[in-house]
A and B are shown apart, each in its own frame.
Chain A
Amino acid sequence: MVKKDKEKLIDKSIKRQHKLTANGVRVFYDNFEAIRGIDMNIKANKVTAFIGPSGCGKSTFLRLFNRMNDYIEGFRLEGEILIDGENIYKKKVNVEQLRKQVGMVFQKPNPFPKSIYENVAYGLKIQGIKDKKFLMEKVVDSLKQVTLWEEVKNDLNKSALALSGGQQQRLCIARTLAVEPSIILMDEPTSALDPLSTAKIEELIFELKNKYTIIIVTHNMQQAARISDRTAFFYMGDLIEYDSTKKIFTNPEKKQTENYITGRFG
């Protein structure tokens, strides 16, 4: 009895070493199998890059971690996704609560059609926080974290839609940071941005990893090489290779991985 408990405890502590875990994950859209059995562990406070050709399932896999696939018709999941050792697809899990812990930044900047202030304060307001002073502090703090504060400090009441694409994307990151998630998912966050804005976001990601666990989907090999600690290569719904970024980009185990990162296909 005692022995069993101890084993359980050890088992749990092993699980807890990993921020995110996927166990035997398969995803179906009706009869189409988009993810074909993936096991994966992701460590805390690291940047993990998902790479692979379009349609390989990397975005689908990313969206499992904040359950954004739930809205897609015909979506079905097998296996389990654990965050801090807890299965987030269990029945009693509060999806809204989960998403406060797991923030997301989208491919196209998608600020709300509201003021800059309202955009950043939104996540806190929906939690029922009304204290104006606290909200303002949080907004300022979040905007400073994404280095947007200096650019917008006089325009907090202006529409967020008037900002440039790069500014909008940093605003979207700021609004995610405002609710203090522990994980941030980024789905090709720079693919719609110019090189300068991209550089800014990459710098930002580099700084954010001290406090957050970041997963980034990207089509840009150099970007993955520059900013990530570990890289996962997906192909046709399979996880082909997952290792340290250095290893993947200098000496990959699999021929397929090498072909993809050297641009021979995909």
Chain B
Amino acid sequence: MNNIKKNRLKDKAFQVWGIFCTFLGLVLLAIFIGAILIDGLQRIDWDFITNLPSRNADRAGIYTALTGSVWILALTTIIALPLGIAAAIYLEEYANKGRLSSILEINISNLAGVPSIIYGLLGLEVFVRILEMGASVLAGSFTLALLILPIVIVSTREAIKAVPKSVRDGSYAMGASKWQTVSMQLLPASFGGILTGVILSLSRAVGETAPLIVIGALAYVPFAPSSPMDEFSVLPIQIFNWISRPQKGFEVNAAAAIIILLLITFIMNAIAVYFRNKWQKKLNN
């Protein structure tokens, strides 16, 4: 066999292997989702969403967990957004590009890789105990805000960095101050990118379980939280709780709750993708 033939064969072999690898993950995911749908779809109806938890699988609903998740999501956004965006603006536009800023940069990237249960321990100590928030929605939100902060900062910086230098030059040459350039040019121009990063990080937060269990979120909460200081549960914890029950009925409930949770994250990701595409079009135009 000559060399050309050999190379073509290798090429072909890799192509087949590549296709296999690509589809492996997708197929497994499809099987999983398919199984969940078969199990859980029959259980989803309005009652399932609006019912309070119950010892009886047929009457148990996700209302408390769902409102808990919504509360957590909202408060986490309110806490993490201003902090993360401000930090990103500072690092990208104000900080001197020196030793200190590169140390900060590396450590923020490292923080994004810290296991979430560590954040849970931090939250337990700082928010639940020292700041005496208890196992409340607020404590959970602060903990998750810390968890997603590095992701928000990194993605916001990327979005701001993607605004062409010529826009900054133009703004400064017109006599704009730094803050005017940031607030009137860079933030509007990078809005889509920032939003994408924020939504993606929030869709991670909505699926987090470990840190919330550590700070003491409960699997069984009789009522939906009505203030930030209330105790709460969230969807993933509810799912975890139902799955560990022996009765068959709760397994179906868990599958149904998984569908709801997946739906929420899929919708959030879809919104993120939509804004990213729209934003890229705007910048490349």
Contacts and interface: CB of A to CB of B under 8 A. Distances in A.
Contacts of A108: 166
DSSP class of B's interface residues: helix, strand, loop or mixed? helix
B177 interface: yes
B176 A96 contact: yes
Contacts of A159: 282, 285
A237 interface: no
A162 B285 contact: yes
B176 A110 contact: no
Nearest to A109: B166
A122 B173 contact: no
A76 B173 CA distance: 19
Contacts, number: 66
A66 B173 contact: yes
B185 A97 contact: no
Contacts of A111: 170
Which of B170, B172, B188 has the largest count of A CB atoms less than 10 A from its CB? B170
A106 B175 CA distance: 15
A74 B185 CA distance: 26
Interface stretch (A1-9, A32-40, A171-179, A243-251): A171-179
A99 B97 contact: no
Contacts of B172: 68, 71, 99
Contact of A172 (B170, B180, B283): B170
A96 B97 CA distance: 23
A122 B188 contact: no
B174 A110 contact: no
B169 A106 contact: yes
A103 interface: yes
A113 B285 CA distance: 9
A85 interface: no
Contacts of B189: 112-113
B269 interface: no
A110 B184 contact: no
B173 A104 contact: yes
A252 interface: no
Contacts of A14: none
A112 B282 CA distance: 11
A73 interface: yes
A113 B175 contact: no
A169 to B, nearest CB: 12
Interface string A51-95: 000000000000000101001010000000000000000000000
Listed from nearest, the 5 A-B pairs whose CB atoms lie closest are A110-B166, A99-B175, A104-B173, A100-B175, A161-B285
29 contacts: A71-B172, A98-B175, A99-B172, A99-B173, A99-B174, A100-B174, A103-B173, A106-B166, A106-B170, A110-B164, A110-B166, A110-B169, A111-B170, A112-B170, A112-B185, A113-B167, A113-B188, A113-B189, A113-B282, A114-B188, A122-B176, A123-B175, A126-B174, A126-B175, A126-B176, A126-B180, A126-B184, A172-B170, A179-B174
Interface of A: 66, 68, 71, 73, 96-100, 103-104, 106, 108, 110-114, 122-123, 125-127, 159, 161-162, 172, 175-176, 179
Given A123-B175, A126-B184, 19 more contacts: A68-B172, A96-B177, A98-B175, A99-B172, A99-B174, A103-B173, A106-B170, A110-B169, A112-B167, A112-B170, A112-B185, A113-B167, A113-B189, A113-B282, A113-B283, A122-B174, A126-B176, A126-B180, A127-B175
